[in-house]
Amino acid sequence: MQELLIDRDNYRNTKIVESESRPLADGEVRVAIDKYGLTANNVSYAVSGDMIGYWKYYPVSSDDGVNWGKVPVWGMADIVESKCDGVEAGERIYGFLPMASEVIMRPGKLKAASFVDVAEHRQPLPELYNGYNRTAGEPALYKTLENERCLLFPLFVTGYVLADFLEDNNYWGAEQVLIGSVSSKTGFGMAAFVNSETDFGGRIIGLTSPGNKAFVESLGDCHQVVTYGNEAEIDPSKKSVYVDMSGNGELRNRLHNHLGENMVRSIGVGATHWEERRGGGDMPGAKPEFFFAPAQIGKRNKDWGPGVLFQKAYAAGAQLAARTSDNLDVEFLNGMEAARDIWIETLDNKVSPKRGIMVSLKG
C-alpha cells in the first residue's frame, strides 16, 4: 500500500511511503480508496489539525524525527476484504479518508445506508467524520453524483448552513453580506444559497483576488465583486455582515476599519489564506467569532427534524453543481506522485478556482 505523509511542521515537506498491508483482525474491513476531491479545505484540516484533531483520524508513528501526519479528504472507496459480519467485500462507501491507497476500518452501528468506524482511537474525535455512507443503501441519484460528493458537497453544505444561519438570525439587520475568498467553493456556494434559498433583500459583496474576479463574476451570484486592496469600494454607510473564508487578518482589519460600527457581525469560517492569518489587532465593529456549523445543524435538527437540513442542503447543492458545471472543469489526476504534486500546488495557491481537482488512486 502507498500513503502520502505531510510534515505537520512544514506542509510542503511530504513523503510517499510504501509498505505491506497488515492482516485484518476480527471485526475489521480493508478499504481501497478509489478517488477523492482536493481543495483548500483540506489544507485547513492541516492548519487546524491540532486544534480540532484532524491529524488523529489516521495517526502516523514517525521514526525519522519528522512529525508526519495524514491529511483527510472526502472520497469514494471500496471494501476489498471483510472480517466484519454484515459488511461485504465489494461494497462502495463515501466518507472521510486518508490520502492513501488503503485503510483499515472497524465498522459498527451498521445501518442499510451507513456505518460508523468504531476504531478506538477515533471515538474521542468529532463524530461527524466517523460516519460512512454505504452507497448500495442510498437513493440511486447519489450514484450519479460521486464526483460532486467528493469535491463540492462538503463545501456546499457549509455554504448552505451559513446562508441558513444568516436567515435564522434575520441577518442581524444587515443590508450587505460580505464574503471573503468568495471564489472558494464554500464562498461562492454561500453566495448562491443566500440568493436562492433565503429572503435576503440586500446586496451580496464578494471579495477575491484580481485573478479570480472574472470567475466569480461568471457565476453571477454577487452584486459587487471587490478585489483585495480595493475595500474602499464597499459602501460603508450600510450595516454589513462579514463571512470570512480567507482567514486573512489584515483584510479583516481593513474591512472593520472601513465599515466601523456598521460591521454588525464578523464570522470566521475558513483560512484559504493560511499563511496570512496574522494582523487582526484592535478593530471597530462586531467582535470576530468562529462559525461552528454543528451548532446550527443541531438547532435545525431540533427545529425541522433530524436530517432535514442535510436533505435540503444536498438538494440545493445538486442544483448548484448542475448550474456551475460549465464554470468548473473537473480534472482527474492519477497516482500518488500526482497526489503529492497537487497538494503542494494547492498549498501554494496555484490551483485556479475553475479547476475541480479529483485524485484517483486506483491503479
Q: Which residues bind ligand NAP (CB under 6 A)?
A: 39-41, 44, 155, 158, 181-186, 208-209, 212, 245-246, 269-273, 291, 293, 347, 349, 353
For the record, the C-alpha cell of 160 comes out as 448552505
Q: How far is the CB of 6 from ligand NAP (least distance, A)?
A: 15
Of residues 79 and 155, the one with the C-beta less far from ligand NAP? 155
Of residues 132 and 160, the one with the C-beta less far from ligand NAP? 160
Q: How far is the CB of 146 from ligand NAP (least distance, A)?
A: 18
**CA count, 13 A, side-chain hemisphere, 181:** 27
Of residues 176 and 262, the one with the C-beta less far from ligand NAP? 176
Q: How far is the CB of 294 from ligand NAP (least distance, A)?
A: 8
CA distance to 30, 91, 150, 352, 359, per residue, from 79 (Å): 6, 5, 17, 33, 18
Q: How far is the CB of 104 from ligand NAP (least distance, A)?
A: 27
Which residue has its beta carbon closest to ligand NAP? 270
d(CA 57, CA 149): 20
Q: How far is the CB of 35 from ligand NAP (least distance, A)?
A: 17
Nearest partner of 245 among 193, 317, 195, 185, judged by Cα? 185
d(CA 160, CA 235): 26
Burial zone of 326 (CB within 10 Å; 0-12 exposed, 13-18 middle, 19+ buried): exposed
Of residues 265 and 273, the one with the C-beta less far from ligand NAP? 273
Nearest partner of 309 among 291, 295, 325, judged by Cα? 295
For the record, the C-alpha cell of 197 comes out as 434559498
Spatial contact of 79 and 31, defined as CB atoms under 8 Å apart: yes
The amino acid present at 256, given as its one-letter code, is H
Q: How far is the CB of 108 from ligand NAP (least distance, A)?
A: 25
CB neighbours of 220 closer than 8 A, spacing ≥ 6? none
Of residues 130 and 272, the one with the C-beta less far from ligand NAP? 272
Q: How far is the CB of 186 from ligand NAP (least distance, A)?
A: 4
Nearest partner of 268 among 252, 281, 284, judged by Cα? 252
d(CA 336, CA 159): 30
Of residues 142 and 291, the one with the C-beta less far from ligand NAP? 291
Of residues 258 and 273, the one with the C-beta less far from ligand NAP? 273
Q: Count other C-beta atoms under 10 Å from residue 221's C-beta.
A: 24
d(CA 294, CA 285): 26
d(CA 156, CA 216): 15
Three-point CA angle 316, 306, 164, nearest 5°? 40
Q: How far is the CB of 15 from ligand NAP (least distance, A)?
A: 21
Of residues 135 and 183, the one with the C-beta less far from ligand NAP? 183
